[in-house]
Amino acid sequence: MTVSAHNPGLPPIIELNSVIKEFGSYRAVDKLSFTVAKGEIVALLGRTGAGKTTVLNLIMGTLAPDSGRVMVAGFDPFRQFSALKGKLAVSFQTDRLLPWRTAVENAELGLLIQGKPKDQARTIASGWLARVNLAGAENKYTHELSGGMRQRVSLARALAVDPELVLLDESFSQLDHVTSHELRQDFCAVAREYGKTCLLVTHRLDDAIEMADRVIVLGPGGHVKLELSLREAATDETVVGRTRSQIAAALGEDTGKQQQNEREE
Ligand SMILES: Nc1ncnc2c1ncn2[C@@H]1O[C@H](COP(=O)(O)OP(=O)(O)OP(=O)(O)O)[C@@H](O)[C@H]1O
Ligand SMILES: [Mg+2]
């Protein structure tokens, strides 16, 4: 069994080994290898078109690699798609809630699909809404909720099925900075409390530094340009500054410009 280099002793939940994915003659992912250990929060950073969503699709099993190996929780996600049912949850840039369902009815959706009895699903979903600070909003329809609240419902829905792995694709990037910051903090607190393994895709350096234990920067054409542990950085301002510059350089941006862009978004 391959053991993660970052948490020796624990088998990786995600393992990509020399993965190649081409669309026609365009190579979107080029010999990509990385692992994510159980309980780790890893940020996958890269500029637009770097291949981030393609990598998520390979991990979700909605795309097959042309060569190389993808393993998730010990399964091949493409060939053994149904084996990962309930083990994997995804939250996207837009909340993808159903407007004719209330907050709690949206949050319990995954549980009902899994076949949980209605009353149990309702209790579990309400509990998760409370954990993402939405107690009291259970019976509101999506149009009665703010963007941040809707994204919280989407996260509650993802976490309610008690997945082994949570994949986030730019889940916070459409929100204003204050809302996005609060939601990132709340999500991380819950993810760490429950030991969830998370791969979060983002193009925003600040999101990655704030949330992740480790950052992987994808260069154009989908290969690892930089891989950096952030555990040490979290407590030391000088290290944070250095880390920020290193990541910004790998992204091909200068730090000042990146911060300016993020303020303008
Ligand atoms: N189904 C597809 N068919 C053809 N080309 C594709 C397909 N999916 C992705 N690509 C191409 O592969 C490259 C990587 O796309 P991908 O969506 O993974 O990038 P990304 O890093 O998620 O970008 P963004 O930050 O804009 O979401 C792009 O050049 C894209 O045009
Ligand atoms: Mg994308």
Question: Mind listing the pLDDT tens digit for each residue in 75-122?
Answer: 999 999 899 888 898 888 787 899 999 999 999 999 999 899 999 999
Give me the residue spans of the domains in the chain: 41-87+165-265, 97-162
Ligand nearest to the CA of 46: 1
Alpha helices in 167-216 (DSSP H): 177-193, 205-211
Rg (CA), the chain: 18
pLDDT in tens, 125-176: 999 999 888 999 999 999 999 988 998 999 899 989 989 999 998 878 777 8
Question: Would the CA dihedral through 134, 140, 143, 144 be positive or negative?
Answer: negative
Residue nearest to atom 18 of ligand 1 (CA): 51
Residue nearest to atom 25 of ligand 1 (CA): 48
Considering the segment(s) 41-87+165-265 as one domain, its CATH architecture is 3-Layer(aba) Sandwich (3.40)
Residue nearest to atom 17 of ligand 1 (CA): 53
* Ligand 1 atom closest to residue 47's alpha carbon, by position in its atom list: 25
